[in-house]
């Protein structure tokens, strides 16, 4: 994936690319220092990700669910910004409404846990 000095992405277009009845992950930007992806988990889905080698930020665009990080858990809803440090065990569960997340990883590496 080549990176230009600047790029513009439309959230509506990115959301369309992860629609459907199955969990979907779509990386749309990768540079040497970060990567960005859309991640969608339909209501009732199971989040199968493993801990990542990078820090990450999730921006919750749609949905209602819970996030477990180690022994802690928290409700997630639209408008929340969630930080998960590298190698932290985490997963979304009790997905009551289709969950759409903008995920930012830094620095970029092979996103082993989501692919």
Q: Which of 53-57, 58-62, 93-97 has the lowest mean pLDDT?
A: 53-57
Classified by CATH at the fold level, domain 11-106 comes out as: Jelly Rolls (2.60.120)
Which residues lie below 8 Å from residue 69, measured CB to CB, with a gap of 6+?
Answer: 84, 88, 89, 90
Would you list the domain boundaries of the chain?
11-106
Ramachandran angles phi, psi of 16, nearest 5°: -60, -35
For the entire predicted model, the pTM comes to: 0.86
The per-residue pLDDT for range 3-46, each reduced to its tens digit, is 678 899 999 999 999 999 999 999 999 988 899 999 999 999 99
């Amino acid at each position: 994936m080549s990176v230009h000095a600047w790029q513009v992405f439309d959230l509506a277009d990115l959301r369309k690319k992860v629609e459907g009845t199955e969990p979907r992950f779509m990386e749309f930007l990768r540079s040497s220092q970060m990567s960005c992806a859309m991640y969608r988990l339909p209501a009732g889905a199971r989040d199968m990700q493993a801990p990542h080698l990078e820090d990450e930020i999730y921006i919750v665009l749609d949905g209602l669910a819970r996030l477990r990080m180690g022994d802690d858990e928290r409700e997630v809803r639209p408008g929340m910004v969630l930080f998960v440090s590298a190698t932290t065990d985490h997963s979304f569960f009790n997905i009551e409404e289709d969950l759409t997340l903008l995920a930012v990883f830094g620095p970029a590496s092979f996103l082993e846990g989501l692919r």
